[in-house]
Structures are given as structure tokens and as C-alpha cells.
Amino acid sequence: MKLLQFYLPEKGQRVGILKDDEVLDITSDGLESTLELIKRSISEGTTVDEIASAQKTVGTYIYESLNIIPDKSKPHLLIPIHPPEVWGCGVTYKRSAEMRDEDTTGTRGIYDYVYSAPRPELFFKATSARCSGPNDYISIRSDSNLTAAEPELAYILGKGKEIIGFTVCNDVSAWDIERENPLYLPQSKIFYGCCALGPVISLNSEITNPYILDINCRIIRDKKVIFSGEINSSKIKRTFDELTDFLCRDNPTLPGTVMTTGTGIMVPNDYALAPDDIVEIEIEGIGKLSNPVKKL
């Protein structure tokens, strides 16, 4: 099952199930968001699939008609969950370690160390207010000249360490700030429009094996593809259970928390984001997340 959120003029936010090319509106009193579905499943001791399946369909919409630039006068897709927190994992793919050490030290350095170490890199990434949904803007910091797209598979937590589903993430990062000094990582990672999520949440019933998914990224400038890259999630070094264990260690996490699992598609410096670029990230079994770019 694939869940999403969308907006209707006069009605506001809605929650739906994507079935083929059709969105089934299952909104009801007390169930007006995917986060509420997750919380209901926890309180009733059942699955999100079961809660969603039991809801009455109150309307249907063609998915592509909703997949447009957000406009309050028109029905459109929203971010698929408003997460209480988003956390990031870094250096989970070998290429990420290699390229970042080349850029910072020219030799084996801190990134290769973390790639090989028992403890992963974890960092706070965003709150809901810092996140963008499908077709909405992602941002370049006003003080950055080298901000990059980081295409990533992300997962959503239910109760405790339970992974309930997956979505696409763009972990937008100001690489020049991070490279100046590792202590600047929070400023590199956390800012308005720093994280895009969507277009849907594919629940575990949809993604039975998250370690075999093709991940693709394209950057479009002036209607031309200037960068294209791909990787398979089989290349990730760490298991998601391992990452979750470190995240939850002495660190309270709330239902609906999103964990983004690192990028294996390293965009060359020559293709740093520019205003009006469009970034498209597509992950097998989930869908395509598209976002335009603006500078703050």
C-alpha cells in the first residue's frame, strides 16, 4: 500500500491511498494525516495497512492531476508525512566516503574512518517546517556557493524501532560549508528547504526488500538534463535495523520520525545546484520526487 497526503481547496489537507493511477481519499474525523494513521495503528495494536484499508473512500482523484506545483487554488500533492523529526545517516556508501575524503584531505580521512567504524554517522536533519513536499521548492542557503542534491532512500518509524514504510528523500546539503570545517555540519545540513520527502510512503507490504531498489537522480537546467546518476540500495553498507538501533540509543524518538539512509550518488561539484534547477529522484517501488530550486 502507498499512502500520501494532498490538498483540496475549501477542504485543506487530506490523506489518501495511491492505487494504480488513482488516489482514494480516506480522510475522516480524527484521521486527517498519515501521522494520525500511524498513531492510530499503535494505539490499536494493529498495522497502518489495516487501519487505512478499513477507512471509507470519500472521493477519488487522478494522481497526475495532483502532481503539480503547489497552488492553494488547485488540488495538489503535499509532503507524505509531517515528521516530528528527520534524522540523517552519512557515509553509508563507499563512493560517498571516497569522494568526500578526496575533496577534504586527498587521502584516507574522517569519512573513510566512519565508513569502516562500528559507529555510523548520525545527525539531526530537519523538522517538518524545514521540509518540502513534491514539486515544492528546495533551497540553497544564502551563504553557500556549493549546495548539492543528495538522493536517498528514507524510512519512517512507527512504535519504537519499528520501520513501517519508505519514501524518497533529497538531503540537500551545503557542501562548501561542511568542507570548510566538520564542525559546521549542522549549518550545512539544517536550513529552510533543506529536506524534500515524497511523493508517497510505500508501506512494508509494498517494499518487501528495501535492499534491492534502483535509485536514480537527474538534475535539469534550462530544460536539459545536466546530470544523471544511479545506484542500487544493495550497495549500502549498514542495515536499517543497525542505523535505527544507534538512533534510538538513549535518544527518545517519536512515531513518524523519518530516517534518511545516506547517498551513493555523488553529484560532481560542477553540477552544484542553481536557482530554477529541477531535481528528480526516483526510487523503485516508491515513485519520483521532483523539486525546483531557489536561493534564499
| pLDDT for 156 | 98
pLDDT tens string 74-85 = 999 999 999 999
| pLDDT for 108 | 57
- Pairing status of strand 195-203 against strand 131-132: parallel
| pLDDT for 179 | 93
pLDDT tens string 165-219 = 999 999 999 999 999 999 999 999 999 999 999 999 999 999 999 999 999 999 9
Q: How far is CA 50 from the centre of its chain?
A: 24
Q: Distance between CA 253 and CA 195 in Å, rounded?
A: 19
DSSP 15: E
Q: Which helix (H) or strand (E) holds 132?
A: strand 131-132
Phi/psi for 175 (5° steps) reads: -65, -35
Output the DSSP codes for 136-172.
SPEEE-TT-S-EE--EEEEEEE-STT-EEEEEEEEE-
Low-confidence ranges of the chain (pLDDT < 50): none
Phi/psi for 16 (5° steps) reads: -145, 170
| pLDDT for 118 | 93
- Name the grid cell of 73: 487554488
| pLDDT for 112 | 87
The SS3 call for residue 147 is strand
Q: Do residues 276 and 189 touch, judged by C-beta distance below 8 A?
A: no
| pLDDT for 110 | 86
Handedness of CA 218, 87, 188, 117 (dihedral sign): negative
